[in-house]
Amino acid sequence: MSPRRDPAQVAAGDKLDQVSEPIERLDLVKYAGASGDFNVIHWSDEAARSVGLPGVIAHGMYSMGVAARMVAAYAGDPGAVKRIKVRFSAMIQPGQTLTAGGEVAEVDGSRVTLRFWAEDDEGNRVLSKGEADLELS
Amino acid sequence: MPLNQALVGKEYPPIRYEVGREKLREFALAVGEHDPVYHDEEAARAAGHPDIPAVPTFPVVLSFRAGALVYADPELGLDYSRVVHGEQEFVYERPIRAGDRLVAVGRVAAAQTKGRHELLTITTRITTEAGEPVCQATSLLIARGTASRAADGEGR
């Protein structure tokens, strides 16, 4: 990871480097094991369909985890991330690619606020109203 | 059964969690994070961390466990089969890191009705065993359609 970003080099409107992650069922199985969230709707099509879903869907927290990579990479240091928040606005299924992007919303000295999102192949917002506060001092 | 408003403010028993390097590596890989700072002790120390830091969403492992005590509370009246995750926030004092011995306490922060849905806000306060604050996780859960069922008395 690059060193903590210099806040003097940050301006409102700066774009974050996007992160894209193709999602396979195996990714959801790994995430289930790593996170402890074994809800059947994330690995069994049969169970997912029985509750009205089109098939297995990714954990919302998997998508947030991918988007958080982008935020931490922009900060250059996980210790500079002071707050991160998302709204889960659509589900995403294996076979799709999750793409996260964002920009600098506000700079107040060493305090930087980011806005970010994540979407599927069709441009549906999987994560919306993403916000992160960085302390880059 | 509607959410029991009387439980707003209720705290649940603490869960304890010992943070291991391999678990942090496993979680980082599971979200596709390959940066050496999250995997290699030397890279982590070179970046100023005492040991491998967790990726930002790792605290969900603790808040998920602490939250399970809340969901299972029969007095709360939550129909978990109708729950979707609406929003998630983490506020950090510092990153979780390998070797941390943590305590997580779940709390019902809010319960309200919005149209046909019920909204439940659960916070999980994460500290070290010594009481040093580390992170607070806030989850907004949406129980779909449960408000109208409660109002109509369908009990379905």
The range of the structural domain enclosing residue B143 comes to 7-19+54-152
**Chain B residues closer than 8 Å to A77 by CB:** 47-48
- B131 lies in some domain: yes
Give pLDDT, residue B150: 52
- Given a contact cutoff of 8 angstroms between Cβ atoms, the answer to whether A88 and A49 are in contact is no
Low-confidence residues of chain A, pLDDT below 50? none
Q: Tell me, what's the pLDDT at B148?
A: 67
Question: Which among B64, B17, B54 is positioned nearest to B33, based on CA atoms?
Answer: B54
Query: What averages of pLDDT result for each successive group of 10 residues across chain B (156 residues)?
Result: 87 98 98 98 97 98 95 89 92 98 97 92 98 98 79 44
* Residue of chain B whose alpha carbon sits nearest to that of A21: B32
pLDDT value at position A81? Answer: 98
B46 lies in a domain? no
Under an 8 A CB cutoff, do B47 and A68 touch? Answer: no
Chain-centroid distance of CA B151 in Å reads: 30
- Tell me yes or no: is domain A7-135 CATH 3.10.129.10: yes
Quick check: is B64 in a domain? yes
Using the beta-carbon criterion (under 8 Å), do B90 and A84 form an inter-chain contact? yes
Tell me what pLDDT residue B83 has.
87
CA distance B88 to B83: 14
- Cα A12 from chain centroid (whole Å): 20
Does residue B121 contact residue B138 with C-beta atoms inside 8 Å? yes
Q: Tally the residues of chain A.
A: 137
Q: How wide is the angle at C-alpha B86 spanned by C-alphas A22 and A91, nearest 5°? A: 30
What total number of domains does chain B contain? Answer: 1
Residue B130 covered by a domain: yes
Does residue B140 lie within any of the structural domains? yes
Dist CA A66 CA B7 (whole Å): 34
Question: Any bridge partners for residue A99, and if so which?
Answer: A20, A119
**How far apart are the C-alpha atoms of B31 and B53, rounded to whole Å?**
15
For B31, the closest of A62, A77, A129 (CB atoms) is A62
B48 vs A77: CB contact, 8 Å cut-off?
Answer: yes
Which CATH number characterizes residue B111's domain?
A: 3.10.129.10
B-chain residues within 8 Å CB-CB of A79? 48-49, 53, 94-95
H/E segment holding residue A77: none
Closest CA to B83 of A24, A83, A46, A88: A88
Give yes or no for A69 touching B (CB within 8 A): yes
Contact residues, chain B, for A69 at CB < 8 Å: 31-33, 55
- Give the residue ranges of DSSP H helices in A12-133: 25-35, 45-50, 60-75
Asked whether residue B108 is assigned to any structural domain, the reply reads yes
Q: pTM score, two decimals?
A: 0.95
